[in-house]
Structure 1
Amino acid sequence: VVTKVSILDSDNDGVTDRIYASDISGNVWRMDLPAADKSTWTIFKFASISDGSSPNDRMFFSEPALAQTQFSNIHSTSGVLSYQNTPYDAVAIGTGNRTHPLDTYTNDMFFVFQDRNVVTKSYTSTEAPATLGFSDLYNVTSVPPTSQAQNIEFGTKRGWYYDFTSAGEKSLSSSLIFDGKVYFTSFIPPAGGTIDYDLGVCDLSGEGRLYVLDLHKGTRTYSELYYDLGERVPDTPQIVIPKADTGNDTIAYIIGVGKGECVGSDCKGTVVLGSGLTTNRIYYHIEE
């Protein structure tokens, strides 16, 4: 584990009770801390997406982004369709070797895993859920699930992955989850550039991108699949929510995204996320 871990308070009692950690062998680990007594703490391998050999020797150099959420899942039993709201904890993370950003051989990807074991508890070696792999994920690279048959198939999976399409494209920073969407960046190394390692100078600097996909099923949420961030290695997308004028709603933005949203030649330098932080009613009382 070469990066920070991600923590979760699964029961909203103000105390961290779960940890997710990624490693450079392409694994994601889940640690449950159900009580203060350390003897109740357990760990198991939650997901694994690398086989250790090129081009599939994928590495995690950033921590996962987490979100507690749910989606409407469709099932087919003997030809009868049924819908069910399925709660899960989203674990979003991309692969990329930060120590070799110019590598063009590894087939890197971005993943959103569905952890449907939403209750924090102690897991014995026999009780631990099976490790998630590629067979448990839906490939949304070309087409996310849209038809009924595709959505039924998606319902049997435990998440999705996006296979970066450009040579050497990789994820070198953490992602961001906001309002049902996942925002993640990628870096594409220069093609055919000559590099003087002694001087530390190269004639091309590569390209950065910002992707925006639906968290649940990887569907495209904007007209463009990604934003061009220019010649740079992009960092984790950062949110700002400026104070709104009196009578207006707050608006959230992503900054540090190059030109950002453009209309013709007019570029704002930001990406609008929509409404900012609002109150979400969880409990209510009716007096009879």
Structure 2
Amino acid sequence: MDNLIIPTEFSKESLQTVDMAIHMANVMGADITMVYVQKKRENAHPTKMDEELEYARKRFDEIVEEYKGKMNKPDGLKYAIKKGVVYQEVNKVAWDLENPIILTPTHGASGFDPLFLGDNAYKIVSYATGPVITIRHGEIHPNIKTIVMPMDKSRETVEKIPATIAFAKKFNAKVHIVSISSHHLSEIKDKMNTLTEKVMKQFTDEGIEYECEFLIGNNLANMTIDYAKEVDADIICIMSEQKKSESDILGVYAHYIMKNSPIPVLVVPSDKK
């Protein structure tokens, strides 16, 4: 977790993300890179394109001047201006940096492109090979003290554990291990209880405070969000539910939580991507 990347189009939501990123960067000792992507447009007038780039450079310089004093690392706040497809260019920036985490609002608007964020936020997650934190309507939680980690019966569910452990240790946070299921079958309960016991041992060995809960219901995503709100969670850690055969489309559970959770969501990509 050495580098935080923030896609921005200078909306209020994306600038609020900078505040959360600065707090995280100061705790983790990380650098921050803000990214603006100029989309390719057919028949666009060269002057208009140049004006857009100049505006982006000017805004970035203003933001760096305003926020750099809040950074523990004097030169830790940087920016990059790219041209191309938003979600691809943002991820390319991440790939060139060591141990990156992308922080992206799920909504935003600017004078140049009202859809810069929104759909692009979900595509950024789908395309990412590392963790992504999504933030809805600027709902930032700078002090990460409570983490909700839902666990299901899938084999991939354990892949979020290392990221959860890393965050919990960095921020000295408590983790709520939440087993979720839509079935009352004793066989499934036994399987999930066995998994939970293994996770509890991992957390105990790592010195992480935790609490366990088992939830059963028809809407797993809503159950997760409701529980996170109930315990006043600062972040929810989930899997992206992506596989190569799924053409980089987010799973229903992940997409619903990213779209509807008022709490930031840490999305961990599956190793099967």
TM class, shorter-length: under 0.3
TM-score computed with the length of structure 2 as normaliser: 0.23
**Structure showing the higher strand proportion among its residues:** 1
**Structure showing the higher helix proportion among its residues:** 2
TM-score computed with the length of structure 1 as normaliser: 0.22
Q: Which has the higher contact order (CA 8 A, sep 6+)?
A: 2
Kindly name which structure, 1 or 2, has the bigger radius of gyration based on alpha carbons.
1
